[in-house]
Amino acid sequence: MYLDSNDRRPAITPKLALRVAIIGGLALALFAIVFFRLWYLQVLSGDRYLAEANDNQVREIKVQAPRGEILDRNGDVLVENRVGLAVKVTPDKLPPEGPVRDTLYERLGKLLGLKPAKIGTTVNEQLTALPFSAATVEQDVKLPIVQYVLEHRADFPGVAVERVFLRSYPNEEVGAHIFGTVGEVTQEQLKGQRYRGVTLGDRVGQSGVEYSYDRFLRGRNGATRLQVDALGTLRGEGAVKEPEQGKQLRLSVDFDVQQTGQQALGDSKAAFVAMDVRNGEILGLGSSPSFDPNQFARIIKPSDFERLSAEENGAPLTNRATQGLYPTGSTFKLITATAALEEGLITPTENQFDGGSLQVGGITFNNAGNASYGSLALPKALQVSSDVFFYRLGQEANSAGNGLAIQDWANRLGLGRRTGVDLPGELPGLIPTPEWRNRLYRKEQTDRPWSVGDNINLSVGQGDVQVNPLQLAVSYAAVANGGTVVTPHLGQRVEDANGRALQEFESSSQRRLNIDSQNRQAIMEGLRLAASAPGGTSTDVFKGFPIDVAGKTGTAEKGAGRPDQSWYAALAPYPNPRYVVVTTFEEGGFGAETAAPAARRILAALFDVNDEKDKVVRGSAAE
């Protein structure tokens, strides 16, 4: 055998053989993994991936669900749905970008009163988010426009008309601040847990009970299934999943009371509350000027929103019953009386002398109208609304104990804090304290620290007090019912379409105050005298009224030449009240002139009485 003497390659060493074996083993292992993975995907998971592939051939187009209706306590429909006509653009028939599409948008713009560029932006945003769903150009279109589009289909390629469910508020401005508004969900809202399951384009509650109970009212969207190929081209329609209407919501509101209260406010900047003192059920709550929530059933224009928010127009969107913060005038005397009695500053029968004025630190505090009432106890002081009597209580409370007797009881009775009502946007208000004013003084945000004069002003609801009508109603209800601070609420229960209760809303936890029965009786007697006895501040208003009423007027000075704020707080029937009614007018003058007559009208509706005096007053106004 011939051997090449020049072949001098060394024999493989054991170390090199080991390396070759390791590399070969790794390669074999990698090959085995790849093989096993392919076998797993094709054999073991083949059916699952085939199903997913088939699912990828199906796209769903959302069919929005109608919202649930809203009823009053008697079953009368307050909010319902109506069928509207929407102009939409379908993606499969929309012309490609270019002159043809631009011409289409120009024609639509002229027809709908919209800018072509705005139409293009709106359509692109919707088609980007939901590529197979029709993009809405205009939500609620009048029939003549729809007919024109249908008669000129060739001029509007890709444009379709669809029926949509829109919110309807048949009573327009009545109850608007209770019901609130709906609008398209925002990108920011979609990030929250509250809107889980909601998609872009869905309309949700944005204010009022539409917002508070949105998850019940919203319903479940349906869907139309479309078949598409691998390139995303539409091939046909499949099954349709019908939408489910939202649940029905029943409120504690009595529509007759609500309508009467709204009428009593007129066109003034004003508010009212009518509430059950036993459980906090709200039978009526209104604010004026009001607005028509039907405007929000469609996509509201920014200019309209600005107009409804503008102060020069009365800020109609502001709910003055929960967001209006005002000095209360003499209606605050119920709180001062409760604090003074419970803290032992006076007794129910103890007399004090009212000489018409009180001088403190070189400042003279006078009675309204410079009146003088002589020696009087608490009930009489409430009857004639003696300021000097309560000035003295404010002066004594400022130096007795911790000096915060009035503030503490105001807070306990529900003032200067949120009531917990099931409406969004409630403001807490303010009961001024030495700590609060002194902190502002240290920050140079006010010109002086706290003084006894601040507590004197507080005792009659003047100065820096900021209270809303609902808070005042809660405080009066607590005294009337013997010490239970109720949580006001509107929602009673959720029902199905046949009115069967699905879920009852229990009232939130209530606080219980220890108010001595004799102290309560003295306060209630004073309020009763104020509404019925000779010399009472509202006796003339309630003369001839068939229901016994206890009530207190309030006239709050706002300074800077502004008209006085008019207040009235009524409890009826006396001596065991069931309802509290609070009315306030920003420019109403004396409480007995404006707020008290409005409260009488609302009480007449609450008790369903034939009030002849109210008819005379309204008849004179009409003339």
Residue 140: CA count within 13 A, CB half-sphere: 15
Q: Each residue of 526-565: pLDDT tens digit? A: 999 999 999 999 999 999 999 999 999 999 998 778 899 9
Residue 364, by phi and psi: left (phi above 0), alpha (psi -120 to 50) or beta? beta
In the block, residue with structure tokens 């608490």: 378
Q: Which residue has the tokens 């902190």?
A: 439
Query: Among positive and negative, which fits the CA dihedral 535, 537, 543, 547?
Result: negative
Please state the domain extents for the chain.
60-251, 255-622
For 60-251, give the CATH class.
Answer: alpha beta
- Report pLDDT digits (tens) over 311-362: 989 999 999 999 999 999 999 999 999 999 999 999 999 999 999 999 998 8
Nearest to 480 by CA among 348, 596, 607, 571: 571
Predicted local confidence at residue 618, as pLDDT: 47
Using 50 as the pLDDT threshold, list the residues of the chain that sit under it.
1-3, 49-50, 52-53, 55, 231-234, 616-623
Task: Give yes or no on whether 60-251 and 255-622 have one common fold.
Answer: no
pLDDT for res 28: 76
pLDDT at position 37 is 66
Q: Residue 520's pLDDT is what?
A: 97
pLDDT in tens, 272-316: 999 999 999 999 999 999 999 998 877 777 888 888 888 989 999
3-class SS of residue 397: helix
Closest to 101 measured CA to CA, from 111, 89, 110, 113: 89
User: Tens of pLDDT along 32-84?
Assistant: 777 766 665 565 555 554 454 454 555 555 667 889 999 999 999 999 998 87
Q: What is the pLDDT of residue 11?
A: 61
The DSSP string of 35-84 is HHHHHIIIIISHHHHHHHHHHTTEEEEEEPPPPPPEE-TTS-EEEEEEEE
In one-letter notation, the amino acid at residue 113 is G
Mean pLDDT of the chain: 86
The pLDDT, as a whole number, for residue 164 is 78
Task: Round to whole Å and give the CA distance between 280 and 488.
Answer: 4
pTM, two decimal places: 0.83
CATH architecture, range 255-622: 3-Layer(aba) Sandwich (3.40)
